[in-house]
Structure 1
Amino acid sequence: MAKWGEGDPRWIVEERADATNVNNWHWTERDVSGWSSQRLRQLLLGVRVEGPEGVCQLTDINKLDGEASINNRKGKLIFFYEWQLKASWLGTSSGGVKYRGTVEVSNLSDENDVDDLDISASLCKDQPNTPLLDLMKRTGIPEVRRVLGEYVHQLKSEFSQGMILPTTNQLKPLPPELKNQIKTSKTQISSTPKRSSSPANCPAGVRIPTCSFSLKETFQTSADEIYRTFINQEFVQVFTRSAAVVDSCRGGRFHLLDGSISGEFTQLVPDQWIEMMWRFRTWPDEHYATVSLELVDRGDETELRMECRGVPAGEKDSTREGWTRFYFQAIKQTFGY
């Protein structure tokens, strides 16, 4: 998730050019079906068109079947994606009468150009004829085609970052201290983490010098979307791009980034507040920081106010940078917030 040579190396859990797949020779694959499914839903449910006939907008995704992956071989990216889509639309005429219909896309794949997609719009069987269907065919279908093209663009530009690693000729020599630090971190991340007592069993933790910090971030989406992004296991796995275990209830445990991050949710107020006991693997055993996330809904955007208390002294900068890069920036890049 971080570019080579940037950020605290203890947060870096992806393949790195100094360790594996030198010169991008081997085939590597990233499954992006989860991200694709979520992004397609977001883009399609944002489709809304107006005309003299009235207003039409997509209201639900009835069918979203398929898969997507990005592959790297010898430094060349190969994209595979194939989706079949069906969505419902609701039209409101200028006189206030409502009509329902569907939009279908049967051939969204890497083999077809966006301009060649077969997209159809129709009314539900029990609906009488209405000029709104003409509006959907004239304006709605081009808008659906546009957002599907946006999905393909994001898949090939933004989400594929990091698939091609720096080659041995591109790497700059690293200082001996950083080499040793990365080597140590790789050993820690690859080995099986030691089991430590949960925060509930050891509420006091280890008494060590600590510090605190706060952050603010604005996301171009609703508070309920941001809340769900932090506590839903599928969403967490998408923006961290690694396996995760997230039990989204009070007292529920979580493990992220190959076990580098772990903790427990202590308070959950839907769409408003998340509080957790949070630790990084290299911290002293049984020591947790307290992280609180307040979500302030501002209409078309959400302000997130973060307070992190109890960070081990000397870990403040790396922890703050890690939250900014591997949580906030990753969420924005992945979901377009």
Structure 2
Amino acid sequence: MAKWGEGDPRWIVEERPDATNVNNWHWTEKNASPWSQDRIRELFKDIAVKTNAADLKITEVENIEGEASANNRKGKLIFFYEWDLVLKWKGSIKESDRQYTGKIKIPNLSEENEVSELDIQVSVETDDEVGSRLKQIMMKDGKELVRSQLSKYIAGLKEEFSKGMILPKKGEVKPDSVKILASGFNRKLNMEPVVNSGKEIGQKIETCTIKQTQKFQCTAQEFYDALTRLELVTAFTRGDVQLDLSKGGKFSLFGGNIIGIFDELVPAKRIVQQWRYKQWPEGHYSIVTININQKDDHTEVVLEQIGVPKSEMDITKENWQRYYWDAMKQTFGFGAFFT
């Protein structure tokens, strides 16, 4: 199958001991920022770097900026965290009393990046011959220590901090059945372009209309939020997202392959947008209307897309299913969860 080329608050309910979030239906969120800051500071407080060439120690966290949260949706845990860290270190060459100091910067600790791929920058305050040597030792041995400590933080966030977030279903508690998920930011879609029709502005384009009806196991507000909140759109599209949530505001998904303009936004009811895929003839937009109807036990979504180039009809229908509906169900637990 060919692939596409390369606000309003969420439905958040309070965690309560009487388990009113029955069967973990709602999206619950727990602020992990204060816990994360304390844990990171603890992990980098006076820890020695193991090396035979020098006496080195990471002394403390000088600066920590960012945020973190843990989210539960129908028994699935999703974690968001993004931190910029500055650590301080000091040390001396063996058999020398002269102390050198420096810093370690980690500008991109997030679920989007594997710990092994983090950009860890080391600097020394006095960059003379000895200072330069200590810096090189820290880059070689200190980086591994930093990665190890950050792995402990992430493990603690997913295992220690999130305890109690999965409320018991009626009559059962099975901790081993809980699945822990990342947001999926680091899973890049390898989208292949459809064939350009070759038609340019001014030429008549034969178009058609697509209609789809989907059922989601969530509230209308939850579904609306999943298509309009930046962090949630980023989670299910698994790529770069730009989103200006206002009438006339622009959006860009899948690395700029899908772009458009919001024409109408009615929370929990309707989204209307001008929508185009970049391979379409230049300047040609379709009109997408998404009507959201909450039922007693699910939400029904009706999509109508007017002005789709006829040659792209089948592939566009398939990609709505694969990259929107199935991806949302998989990421947020809005339907059958695919493994």
Question: TM-score under structure 1 normalisation?
Answer: 0.51
Partner SS state of residue 266, structure 1 = strand
Q: What is the Cα deviation at residue 299 of structure 1?
A: 3.5
Partner SS state of residue 221, structure 1 = coil
**What is aligned with 2:314?**
317
| Alignment coverage as a number of residue pairs | 215
- Asked whether the 8 Å contact 1:45–1:58 carries over to 2, the reply is no
**What is aligned with 2:239?**
242
CA distance in 1, matches of 2:279, 2:313: 13
**What is aligned with 1:153?**
180
Superposed CA deviations along residues 189-231 of structure 1, whole A, max 9, x for unmatched, are xxxxxxx9xxxxx9xx864110111011111111111111112
Structure 1 pair 151–302 and aligned structure 2 pair: CA distance change class (3 A)? same
Candidates 261, 265, 283, aligned match of 2:262: 265
Partner SS state of residue 154, structure 1 = strand
CA distance in 2, matches of 1:260, 1:253: 13
Q: How does 1:149-298 map to 2 (within 5 A)?
A: 153-155=180-182, 159=184, 185=193, 207-298=204-295
Q: What is the Cα deviation at residue 261 of structure 1?
A: 0.4
CA distance in 2, matches of 1:310, 1:255: 19
Partner SS state of residue 264, structure 2 = strand
CA distance in 2, matches of 1:287, 1:218: 30
- Asked whether the 8 Å contact 1:80–1:109 carries over to 2, the reply is no
**What is aligned with 1:110?**
155
Structure 1 pair 112–325 and aligned structure 2 pair: CA distance change class (3 A)? closer
| Larger-gyration structure (1/2) | 2
CA distance in 1, matches of 2:278, 2:312: 12
Deviates more, 1:258-267 or 1:229-238: 229-238
CA distance in 1, matches of 2:181, 2:285: 37
Candidates 2, 12, 27, aligned match of 1:8: 2
Superposed CA deviations along residues 50-75 of structure 1, whole A, max 9, x for unmatched, are 69xxxxx99874544443636498xx
Partner SS state of residue 292, structure 1 = strand
Q: Which runs of 5+ in 2 are unaligned?
A: 21-25, 37-67, 69-80, 82-109, 117-146, 335-339
Deviation beyond 3 Å, 4+ runs, structure 1: 44-51, 57-73, 79-83, 111-114, 117-120, 140-144, 146-155, 158-163
Partner SS state of residue 225, structure 1 = helix
Candidates 18, 23, 43, aligned match of 1:49: 18
Partner SS state of residue 275, structure 2 = strand
Structure 1 pair 12–109 and aligned structure 2 pair: CA distance change class (3 A)? same
Candidates 288, 296, 299, aligned match of 1:299: 296
Q: Which runs of 5+ in 1 are unaligned?
A: 1-6, 14-37, 52-56, 74-78, 84-106, 121-139, 166-180, 189-195, 197-201
Superposed CA deviations along residues 283-335 of structure 1, whole A, max 9, x for unmatched, are 01111111100000113421100001110011100011111111111111111
Identity of aligned residues (%): 27
RMSD of aligned C-alpha atoms? 4.7
CA distance in 1, matches of 2:253, 2:221: 21
Aligned residue identity for 2:284: H
Partner SS state of residue 318, structure 1 = helix
- Asked whether the 8 Å contact 1:206–1:285 carries over to 2, the reply is no
- Asked whether the 8 Å contact 1:238–1:334 carries over to 2, the reply is yes
- Asked whether the 8 Å contact 2:260–2:275 carries over to 1, the reply is yes
- Asked whether the 8 Å contact 2:185–2:234 carries over to 1, the reply is no
